[in-house]
Every structure is written in structure tokens, then in C-alpha cells.
């Protein structure tokens, strides 16, 4: 591990040293688990941390808050340039781990993740071999231009056109209206040399009397800037969209195209193409064009653990150092704020969630990679529907709940949590876009529930009937079939037999989550059926009226996915040589997460008297007991994330906890304090102070 060793010569905070002495499990063993038991990953991370903490600029993340937009961006380009050294030393994996270790976001993340996901999914092998190395080596810098100022969620509604010109064998890209202006395009405002433009593909067809036929949105590679002078090319208007809530080290851009010609070969043609005669060869699955977005959502799902772990680390270390009020006047010291149960209630559910999200993200990324291999091999889309549904719901749940967790951790630090020097406001401001970007969190869960309803339909109708036999019942939705086939009595018996305590067994908790999700899916299906049997045929309106329940249903399914992932990993770890003490604390974290979700969604679990009020009451009262069980291990648990100080950028959460001296030093040395008399004072305020009434 990086932290203990690197900071061993620093002044120790006695509170943190005491907390570390209470650990009941092996921190390094848990850290290895959080690195997927891959010592190579750990070593690369440690090398990157060393590089970052020794870099004159990157080692001082707190200085970001003192810079103008231009200075922030200049700093970001410097930090971006360092990734080349990282990749030379460690290859592609070094890039991912570099991003996970940086305090700040950098524009290269678009080329390396957003553009890369799309290009690797949509480009043909020939295009990959010819072009991708240039993006990997940053000779080209890519971006992804799908959203327009008038359309984001509704991809089918985008207005940019791409017309095939048979005479010259070219495509012509055009922005026909103001609302067709590409907007929000990450990395495009100042940096990108290329972008993947999504445009309505128009081809004149003899079968359509020579009129243009629209084949829907397709991806086209466009060079935006000259490689020698970095100026926009002919017909291209491009710029930065302006200041944002956060993510300001990135240049989100706008783009307008004035009849820009590109070669026919610039259509990304893994799944579809236009031949020189203007004939369109369609994909095996109509939505393979969206595969790139699933890839970025997979990154965001994995990244929720990365960001939430930073917030809980800062909040827990600070909460074991900060003291307020004596419990008894005779006490020598005031009470550590972590000892207040409402302080624990602000932080510990999200500590448990951090671990839950790690295991869920780990599982999803394996499933995503398996799906992409199948899709690329022979456009085998068997797994695509399930992956799209799960990525939509999980990305929505995990990003929103991570944002909530970062904010809860900020609140737990009191006034100091509102200082940029706590490291939390910047983390939060840079993170919250994840609920909008790559698919809005009110929109995507509908895709999940639509899929769940199709599985319920398949399960409940006779398999020989018209049910969609292409639809495979994937592993993550097998519970729908099981719940449907298990008589209610059996399941009910399963829970009722449980004595109060055993309802806390992970098997029982998992079963509660399965049944909860099944009941919600069934309820929506029944509501739609009821509306239709009452003669209402306006399906879009019925669906819109049910939006809230639909999104909640997706959330329940995804929370089950998280619980199942966490529990499966614990069972796997306990079957190999993981020490029992680590397993015990992981089970406590799983139980804390489950009971917290149950406590905040009581109605779901009471829906069909599946559990009795006495059991719910018992669960409600058990949360505080889990907090107490976890209490001795709180600092060791966040130490197991092994986050270096330059990653946290926090005066409140550093490894050795020198909170007050760091906070005062950063405050007193900031440039704003260089001059006692602030700019503007003499001309605006001094006359008032000196005025005579
Ligand atoms: C490593 C550490 C660092 C990590 C850092 C993290 C990430 C990096 C930082 C990120 C920075 C931000 C970058 C942001 C980029 C962007 O925002 S890019 C733009 C994103 N835009 C969207 O997400 C738009 C959302 N809208 C849609 O996806 C679609 O419009 C829709 C909502 C899915 C609707 O699709 P539509 O075609 O209109 O119709 P439907 O009828 O709903 O779908 C038809 C069928 O197709 C299936 N389907 C839809 N989408 C997909 C898909 N992606 N994959 C597979 N299948 C899909 C859908 O289920 C339907 O299927 P059937 O029901 O069987 O017909
Ligand atoms: C930081 C950031 C980076 C981004 N980077 C990129 C990028 O690199 N490339 C790119 O192409 N795009 C990018 N985007 C754009 C992003 O993909 C869109 O903002 C997102 O898809 C949402 O679309 P919209 O903004 O048009 O919102 P809208 O679709 O207009 O949604 C607005 C509101 O209406 C609701 N709504 C819309 N439709 C429905 C419906 N059917 N049912 C219920 N509610 C609905 C939404 O839930 C939302 O609450 C980025 C955005 C951000 C914030």
C-alpha cells in the first residue's frame, strides 16, 4: 500500500493513530481485494501516486481553486501531457489508473474514454487499424458530437444531416438549423482535432423516386481542426460553451457545419455502411449505433466507487478528529463528532455503498466486456438488450446516489465542508453532471423497466406463444422467472419462518430485494394492462403517467443487482483464502447497505404483506446497531482505499490528519491575502467610510 509507508515520517495525529489501532481486519488484504487481487494494478497505482505527489504542480490540487478559467485550462493541459509518460511506462491500463488517481478532471478523458468507447465500438477493423493508433498517441484528439442545442435525450430527433453525394462518393455534413448546433461536446471547444458527428443519414434512392430517404442517426468521423495550425477547417464553426457548475478544466464545445464534405470512408462502418452506389447495408441490430454510449456508462458505473471513496475518506477521517461538546462536564475532551448517531447516519450508509458499488461496478464491467466481444465477433446481440437495460439503470442509480453521498459527506464536515480546501465541493461540482451526461437519469431508467416488463411478459405468457423468443432471460433477471414460478406461499413462508434476527442474514435480505423488485415490475405491468382494458389506447400517455413508478422500478432492480453483486463476491472471497475478519466486515457493510435501503423504501417491502410490521420495525432499529459494529473499523476501512493526499486535495482528510494547520496554511497563503487592501476598496469603499454624515 502507498499511504502508510509514504507518510510514515510525518507528524501523527493521535486520534487517527488510535482509530487505526482498533482495526479488526487486514487493511492491506482489503486493499488488494479493491484492486481486483491484481498486484500489478496496485504497483502501477503506487507509481502514479508517487509521480503525482512529486510533481511541482499536480501535488498541489488546492491551487486549482485559485485560478481563472484560462489558468485552470492551462494547468489541465499540463496535467494531460503527463499521461503520455504514464502510458509509455504502463500502457493503456496506466491511463485508466491515472484518471482514478487525479484530483482534477482533464480534457484527455474525452479522447481516452468517451471518444475511445464510441470509436472502438463503431469503427470497422480497417478504420481501427488505420486511425486508432493516432488517437492513442495523441497525434489526433477525438471527441463525440451527438447532442445538439435542441436535442440530447432524443437521439432520433437530432437535426444535423449527412447526405450521400453519389457523384463524388462523398458525404456532406450540414447544420440546417440553429437547434441543430452540436452543443456540450466534451473536449471540442478548444482541443479536439477530430470528432464523431452523429447525423441523420440521407441517401437519394431510386425506390424513392430519387428523393432523399432518411436512414436515421449514424456516426461519421470529421476532422475539425488543422493538425499544423490547430485552426478550424473550412465550413466549421467551433468554440467553448462557457462556464459550467463544475468540470471547468474541460472545454465542452459547440459546433456548426456548413456543407462540409467528407470521404465515404469516414462513416464508422463496423455495423453498417453505404457502398459507392449509395446502397445502405443495415446492421443486425438497429441500436448498435448506440454501443459507444453503453461503454461510457460502464465507465461511469465503475467510476462511482472512485469518487464516493474520496468523499467518505475525507468525512470519516475528519469526523474522528473533529470534537464538539463534552458529553459530561467532567470529561477531559469534547466528543468526537463521529460518535453522534446522526453524524454516522450521514456517512456510514455511503461508506457501505462505496463497497457495494465497487463490487457492482466490477461485475458490470466484466459483463460489458463479454457482450462487446460477442457483438464484435459476429454482431451477436443476445446480451445487448440486458446490458443496455442494466447500464441505463445502474448508471442512473449509481451516479445519482454517489452525488447524494458526496453531498452528505460535505454536510457532515460542517462549515469546513463548504470550503474548497476540504476537497469536497470541487469533487461534487465535477461529479454531479454524471446524472445528466451520457443519458439523463430521468430518462434512462425507462429503458430498464421497459426491458423488465418484456421479461415479465415472456415469463408469464406461454413460451410457445408470440413472446419474443429472441429475448434471452439473462442472469440479472432470472429472479423474475423464479419469483413468478415460486408460489407466494412458499416465499412468504421463507420469510415468516425467519426469526427476527435471521431476517438479517444476507440470504434473507437478498430474497427481500428480489421480491421487492418483482412486485414493482408486476404492479406496473398490471397498471398498464388495467388502463388498456379500460379502453385507453394512448400507450405513450399511460407510460408518461407512470414515469415515476417506472423509474422507481428500475431503481429497485438495480439495487438488487448491487446487493447480488456484493453478496456473490463475499461468497467467492470466503471460498478462497480471504481471512474471516475481512469477510465479517464485508458482511457488516452489505447488511448496512441493505437495511439502509429497506429503511428508506419501507413501502416497497410492505407492498403485499411480504414481511410483517414487526420485522420492518426490527430492521428499522437495527441500522444503529450496524453503525456500532462498524465503528471500530471506520478509519481502517477508508485507509483500505489507499488514496494519497494529492488525490484527495483536502485539508480535512489527509492521511495524517493535520487538519487545522493545513487549513490555516492554505487560507493564509492564498494570493487573495497578499494585499491587505483588496482591489476596488480605495475607489469604492474608502469614500463611504470617510464620508461625513
Ligand atoms: C477510469 C476513471 C475515469 C472515468 C470517468 C467516467 C467517464 C468519463 C467522463 C464522462 C464525461 C461526460 C461525457 C458525456 C457524453 C455524452 O453525454 S454523449 C451523449 C449521450 N446521450 C445520451 O445518452 C442520449 C440518451 N438517449 C438514448 O440513448 C436514446 O434516445 C434512447 C433513450 C435509448 C431512446 O432510443 P430510441 O432509439 O429513440 O428508441 P427506443 O424505442 O427507446 O429504443 C429502440 C430499441 O433500441 C434499444 N436500445 C436503445 N438504446 C440502446 C443502446 N444504447 N444499446 C442497445 N440497445 C439500445 C431499446 O432497448 C429498444 O429496444 P427494443 O425495445 O427491443 O425495441
Ligand atoms: C458535463 C456534460 C458533458 C457532456 N458531454 C457530451 C459529449 O461529450 N457529447 C455529447 O454528445 N453530449 C454531451 N453531453 C450532453 C448530454 O448527453 C445531454 O445533456 C443529455 O443526454 C441530456 O439531454 P438534454 O440535455 O437535451 O436534456 P433533455 O433531454 O432536454 O432533458 C431535460 C429534462 O427532460 C426530461 N425528459 C426528456 N425526455 C423525457 C422522457 N421521454 N421522459 C421523461 N422525462 C424526459 C429529462 O429527464 C430531463 O429531466 C454532456 C452533458 C454534460 C452536462
H or E stretch at 100: helix 92-101
The C-alpha cell that represents 400 in the structure block: 445519482
Ligand nearest to the CA of 186: 2
Ligand nearest the Cα of residue 157 is 1
Cβ of 144 less than 6 Å from ligand 1: yes
Is residue 198 predicted with pLDDT exceeding 90? yes
Q: What's this model's pTM, rounded to 2 decimal places? A: 0.96
Residue range 504-517, pLDDT digits in tens = 999 999 999 999 99
pLDDT digits (tens, 9 = 90+) for 653-674: 999 999 999 999 999 999 999 9
pLDDT tens per residue across span 500-546:
778 899 999 999 999 999 999 999 999 999 999 999 999 999 999 99
Q: Is the pLDDT of residue 468 over 70?
A: no
DSSP 196-238: EEEEEEEEE-GGGTT-EEEEEEEEEEEE-B-TTT-PBPTTEEE
Pocket of ligand 2 (CB under 6 A): 114, 144-147, 152-153, 184-186, 247, 252, 433, 436-440, 442-443, 547
**pLDDT at position 50:** 97
pLDDT band at 464 (very low <50, low <70, confident <90, very high): very low
Is 0.95 exceeded by the ipTM?
A: yes
Closest ligand 2 atom to residue 547 Cα is 43
- C-alpha cell of residue 633: 473499523
Strands 144-145 and 194-204: parallel
CA distance 324 to 343: 12
Catalytic residue at 549? Answer: no
- Taking the C-alpha atoms of residue 69 and residue 77, their distance in angstroms, rounded to an integer, is 12
Ligand 1 nearest atom to the CA of residue 186, by list position: 13
CA of residue 144 to ligand 1 center, whole Å = 13
Confirm or deny that 474 is annotated as ligand binding.
no
Per-residue pLDDT of 209-227, as tens digits, reads 889 999 999 999 999 999 9
Q: How large is the average pLDDT for residues 96-113?
A: 96
Average model confidence (pLDDT) across the chain: 94
438, 483, 497, 549: the active-site residue? 438
> Rounded distance, CA 522 to CA 610, Å?
14
Amino acid at each position: 500500500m502507498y499511504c502508510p509507508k509514504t507518510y510514515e515520517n510525518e507528524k501523527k495525529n493521535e486520534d487517527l493513530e488510535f482509530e487505526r489501532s482498533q482495526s479488526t481486519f487486514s487493511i492491506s488484504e482489503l486493499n488488494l481485494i479493491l484492486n481486483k487481487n491484481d498486484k500489478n494494478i496496485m504497483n502501477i497505482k503506487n507509481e502514479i501516486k508517487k509521480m503525482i505527489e512529486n510533481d511541482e504542480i499536480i501535488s498541489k490540487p488546492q491551487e486549482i481553486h485559485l485560478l481563472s478559467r484560462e489558468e485552470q485550462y492551462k494547468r489541465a493541459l499540463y496535467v494531460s501531457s503527463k499521461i503520455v509518460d504514464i502510458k509509455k511506462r504502463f500502457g493503456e491500463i496506466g491511463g485508466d489508473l491515472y484518471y482514478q488517481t487525479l484530483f482534477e478532471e482533464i480534457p484527455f478523458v474525452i479522447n481516452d474514454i468517451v471518444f475511445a468507447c464510441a470509436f472502438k465500438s463503431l469503427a470497422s477493423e480497417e478504420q481501427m487499424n488505420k486511425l486508432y493508433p493516432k488517437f492513442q498517441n495523441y497525434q489526433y484528439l477525438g471527441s463525440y458530437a451527438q447532442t445538439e442545442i435542441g436535442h440530447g435525450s432524443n437521439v432520433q430527433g437530432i437535426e444535423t444531416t449527412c447526405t450521400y453525394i453519389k457523384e463524388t462518393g462523398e458525404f456532406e455534413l450540414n447544420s440546417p438549423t440553429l437547434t441543430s448546433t452540436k452543443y456540450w461536446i466534451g473536449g471540442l471547444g478548444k482541443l479536439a482535432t477530430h470528432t464523431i458527428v452523429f447525423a441523420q443519414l440521407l441517401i437519394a434512392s431510386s425506390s424513392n423516386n430519387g428523393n432523399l430517404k432518411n436512414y436515421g442517426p449514424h456516426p461519421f468521423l470529421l476532422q475539425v481542426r488543422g493538425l499544423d495550425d490547430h485552426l478550424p477547417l473550412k465550413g466549421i464553426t467551433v468554440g467553448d460553451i462557457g462556464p459550467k457548475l463544475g468540470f471547468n478544466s474541460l472545454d465542452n464545445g459547440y459546433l456548426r457545419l456548413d456543407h462540409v464534405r467528407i470521404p465515404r470512408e469516414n462513416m464508422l462502418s463496423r455495423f453498417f455502411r453505404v457502398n459507392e452506389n449509395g446502397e445502405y447495408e443495415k446492421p443486425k441490430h438497429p441500436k448498435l449505433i448506440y454501443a459507444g454510449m453503453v461503454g461510457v456508462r460502464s465507465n461511469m458505473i465503475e467510476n462511482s466507487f472512485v469518487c464516493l471513496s474520496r468523499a467518505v475518506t475525507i468525512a470519516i477521517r475528519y469526523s474522528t478528529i473533529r470534537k464538539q461538546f463534552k458529553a459530561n462536564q467532567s470529561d477531559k475532551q469534547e466528543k468526537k463528532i463521529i460518535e453522534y448517531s446522526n453524524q454516522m447516519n450521514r456517512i456510514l450508509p455511503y461508506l457501505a455503498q462505496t463497497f457495494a458499488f465497487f463490487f457492482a461496478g466490477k461485475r458490470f464491467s466484466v459483463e460489458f466486456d463479454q457482450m462487446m466481444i460477442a457483438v464484435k465477433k459476429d454482431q451477436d446481440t443476445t446480451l445487448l438488450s440486458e446490458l443496455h437495460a442494466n447500464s441505463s439503470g445502474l448508471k442512473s442509480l449509481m451516479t445519482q446516489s454517489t452525488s447524494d453521498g458526496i453531498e452528505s459527506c460535505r454536510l457532515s464536515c460542517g462549515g469546513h465542508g463548504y470550503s474548497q480546501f476540504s476537497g469536497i465541493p470541487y469533487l461534487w461540482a465535477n461529479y454531479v453532471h454524471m446524472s445528466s451526461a451520457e443519458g439523463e437519469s430521468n430518462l434512462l431508467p425507462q429503458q430498464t423497466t421497459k426491458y423488465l416488463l418484456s421479461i415479465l411478459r415472456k415469463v408469464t405468457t406461454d413460451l410457445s406463444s408470440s413472446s419474443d423468443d429472441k429475448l434471452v432471460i439473462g442472469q440479472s433477471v432470472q429472479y423474475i422467472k423464479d419469483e413468478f414460478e415460486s408460489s407466494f406461499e412458499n416465499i412468504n413462508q421463507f420469510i415468516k419462518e425467519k426469526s427476527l434476527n435471521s431476517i438479517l442474514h444476507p440470504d434473507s435480505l437478498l430474497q427481500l430485494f428480489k421480491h421487492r423488485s418483482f412486485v414493482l415490475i408486476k404492479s406496473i405491468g398490471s397498471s398498464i394492462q388495467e388502463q388498456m382494458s379500460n379502453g385507453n389506447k394512448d400507450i405513450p400517455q399511460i407510460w408518461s403517467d407512470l414515469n415515476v413508478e417506472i423509474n422507481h422500478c428500475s431503481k429497485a432492480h438495480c439495487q438488487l443487482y448491487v446487493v447480488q453483486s456484493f453478496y456473490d463476491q463475499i461468497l467467492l472471497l470466503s471460498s478462497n483464502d480471504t481471512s474471516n475478519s475481512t469477510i465479517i466486515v464485508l458482511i457488516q457493510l452489505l447488511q448496512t447497505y441493505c437495511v439502509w435501503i429497506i429503511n428508506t423504501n419501507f413501502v416497497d417491502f410492505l407492498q403485499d404483506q411480504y414481511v410483517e410490521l414487526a420485522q420492518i420495525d426490527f430492521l428499522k432499529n437495527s441500522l444503529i446497531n450496524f453503525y456500532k459494529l462498524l465503528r471500530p473499523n471506520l478509519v481502517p476501512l477508508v485507509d483500505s482505499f489507499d488514496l494519497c493526499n494529492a488525490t484527495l486535495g483536502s485539508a480535512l482528510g489527509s492521511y495524517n490528519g493535520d487538519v487545522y494547520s493545513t487549513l490555516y496554511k492554505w487560507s493564509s497563503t492564498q494570493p487573495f491575502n497578499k494585499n491587505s487592501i483588496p482591489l476596488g476598496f480605495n475607489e469604492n469603499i474608502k469614500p463611504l467610510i470617510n464620508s461625513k454624515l
